[in-house]
Amino acid sequence: MIDTDLTKFLPDLIEVENLFSDNQFNIKHRFKQNGNKLVNTITVNGQTYAYGNFVNDLSDEIVRTRLTKRYAKLSLYKALSKVTGKDMPWGALTGIRPTKLAYSEIEKNGSFEDFFVNVMKVSEQKTALTRAVIDSQKPYYEKNDNNTDFFVFIPFCPSRCKYCSFISADIKRSNQHVDAYVDALIEEIRQSADLVKNLRSIYVGGGTPVALPNEQLERILLELDKINTGVEFTVEAGRPDAITKENLAMLKAHKVTRICVNPQTFSDQTLQLLGRNHTSKDIFEKYELAKKDFSVNMDLIAGLPGEDQKVFEDSLKKTIALSPDDITVHTLCIKKGSYLAEETNRLPEDKVANMVEKSHQILGENGYKPYYLYRQKYMAGNLENTGYALNGKVCVYNIDVMEEISQNVACGANAISKRIYFGGERIEREASPKDIPTYLGKIEQIIDKKRKLFE
């Protein structure tokens, strides 16, 4: 429980408290400004700590708000770190885009490392990871609000994985919605086409887009043909059990350049436990089918229930042996709404941290460089998801979306369009309903609002 006199920052302070989630705290926070000094006094379970921070200029209201929030969070982080004896890998950072913050520091001060390590208490290791990601992005990073990425969301899967907290529905139980969903989606794509300027990439995500019947998937691809100017075109095929020779041939015919074949693990025991209706043999077979014609992204998850370092490393080595263009290592993130939230036997955080660190080392030894990263709430050990790619093989869409450096015109349920204004460093968003019936019922308003966002 947090009692603070900066009530408007209470959600931000709760985020910091959640970093130390295994503990129960009774927190009192008092804030005072003495001239250019911001003083935060934190009492945790009866112990009091006071932190003072001098700032240069507080005359600008936006700057004052930003710094007040920053130092309140940081003070709470330091107090909780003292009380628990724990340092977090990302220090007091709670945002999902650490690299974006690093870029903004570079723009203001020429570098971010001192700010990360000495102010925000980010570990040397994570600061070095952020630097490596920024270096890898250099040839592709294009901050330009005249560029557009186009996103399409397909909310159906062949079955529901136990760790899943997305809105994706089991396609076998959603037959009544599939045709209507594709009709509405096509209308939305059609009415979004003229909002696209300087197309950078197309990404069809899910869910499992290839879980759709071929004729419905093809209708969507035909609509996207009209937008595609020959850019990177990714389809998150996803689950190997939904990939077939036929749907791959169709993707190729519609100029898809990249697909995701996501193992998550090569342990058959874990795959079964997760409710994924496929085996490791399917992963090898579908990868071989896909590799002939596409760049391939593959995802793994560190910290899956029942897995130890050895099982995780075995999956990682098997993935590397296949030599996909991109390997993203996720840290298990169990949210409310997933079956695992109730029944999981979670690995200790330091074990997951070891898996993540070792994967960084092994991938580096095999020519994979980190090129994008993001964090999520409820993530084991407060770690991160990191995408690695072989030289010249990055997925541009991942960079654009993670760094928020171009417009995102997004279609489908749960899709969030973003209009970026670099002049004012501002982002406006328009989110579609997550629930399919609501999306179908409001499709006209959704299209209307999106057009207003970009016009």
* 235 belongs to the binding site for ligand SF4 (CB under 6 A): no
Return the HEC string of 365-393.
Answer: HCCCEEEEEECCCCEHHHCCEEEEECCCC
Task: Decide if residue 283 touches ligand SF4 (CB under 6 A).
Answer: no
- The residue within the footprint of ligand SF4, chosen from 89, 205, 207, 209 (CB under 6 A), is 207
- Minimum CB separation of residue 276 from ligand SF4 in Å reads 7
Show the tokens assigned to 345. Answer: 């036997």
Contact region for ligand SF4 (CB under 6 A) — 93-101, 155-163, 222-230, 415-423? 155-163
Place of tokens 């869409």: 397
411 in Cβ contact with 195 (< 8 Å): no
Long-range contacts of 420-427 (CB under 8 A, 24+ apart): 420/145, 421/145, 422/143, 422/144, 422/145
Burial of 274 (0-12, 13-18, 19+ CB in 10 A): buried
210-222 b/e (C-beta count within 10 Å ≥ 16 → b)? bbbeeebbbbbbe
**Cα–Cα distance for residue pair 12/21, rounded to 1 Å:** 14
Q: How far is Cα 425 from Cα 422, in angstroms, rounded to an integer?
A: 4
Q: Side chain identity at 30, as an amino acid letter?
A: R
* Residue closer to ligand SF4 (CB basis): 206 or 387: 206
Which stretch, 22-30, 92-100, 163-171, 421-429, contacts ligand SF4 (CB under 6 A)? 163-171
Q: Evaluate whether 177 touches 440 at the Cβ level (below 8 Å).
A: yes
Examine residue 412 and tell whether it contacts ligand SF4 (CB under 6 A). Answer: no
What is the dihedral sign for C-alpha 133, 136, 140, 142?
Answer: positive
Tokens found for residue 402: 């993670």
Three-class SS state of 343: helix
Closest CB to ligand SF4 among residues 98, 238: 238
Least separation, in Å, of the C-beta of 318 and ligand SF4?
19
**C-alpha distance from residue 268 to each of 179, 273, 327 (Å):** 34, 9, 20
Residue number with CB closer to ligand SF4 (168 or 267): 168
State which residue, 168 or 406, has the beta carbon closest to ligand SF4. 168
203 lies in the site for ligand SF4, by CB under 6 A: no
Residues within window 387-406 making contact with ligand SF4, judged by CB under 6 A: none
Nearer to ligand SF4, 90 or 163 (CB): 163
| Backbone φ and ψ of 152, nearest 5° | -130, 130
Cβ atoms of residues 152 and 412 within 8 Å: yes
CA separation for the pair 145, 362 (Å, rounded): 37
By CB under 6 A, tell whether 265 contacts ligand SF4: no
Question: Toward ligand SF4, which CB reaches closer, 228 or 414?
Answer: 414
**Residue from 425, 59, 237, 310 nearest 318 by CA:** 310
Q: Residue 149: beta bridge partners?
A: 201, 408
449 binds ligand SF4 (CB under 6 A): no
Task: Select from 77, 153, 166, 233 the one that contacts ligand SF4 (CB under 6 A).
Answer: 166
Kindly tell me which of 260 and 405 has the beta carbon lying closer to ligand SF4. Answer: 260
Q: Does 197 bind ligand SF4 (CB under 6 A)?
A: no
Q: How many residues bind ligand SF4 (CB under 6 A)?
A: 11
319 binds ligand SF4 (CB under 6 A): no
What mask, x for binding ligand SF4 by CB under 6 A, covers residues 97 to 136?
----------------------------------------
Q: Are 419 and 407 in contact (CB under 8 A)?
A: yes
Q: How far is the CB of 1 from ligand SF4 (least distance, A)?
A: 34
Residue 237 binds ligand SF4, judged by CB under 6 A: no
**Interface pick for ligand SF4 out of 160, 219, 358, 451 (rule CB under 6 A):** 160
Is 166 or 181 the residue whose CB approaches ligand SF4 more closely? 166
> How many CA within 13 A on the CB side of residue 282?
20
Span of 77-85, 129-137, 158-166, 381-389 interacting with ligand SF4 by CB under 6 A: 158-166
Six-digit token pair at 221? 């691809």
By CB under 6 A, tell whether 356 contacts ligand SF4. Answer: no
Q: For ligand SF4, which residue of 2, 157, 185, 379 counts as binding (CB under 6 A)?
A: 157
Q: Which is nearer to ligand SF4, 275 or 306 (CB)?
A: 275
CB of 321 to ligand SF4, least distance (A): 23
> Residue 349 is encoded by which pair of tokens?
């955080």
Among 239, 278, 375, 450, binds ligand SF4 (CB under 6 A): 239
Q: Please report, for residues 142, 198, 268, 275, 377, the alpha-carbon distance to residue 425 in angstroms, rounded to integers and kept in the order given.
A: 15, 20, 47, 43, 24
CB of 167 to ligand SF4, least distance (A): 9
Q: Which residues bind ligand SF4 (CB under 6 A)?
A: 157, 160-161, 164, 166, 168, 206-208, 238-239
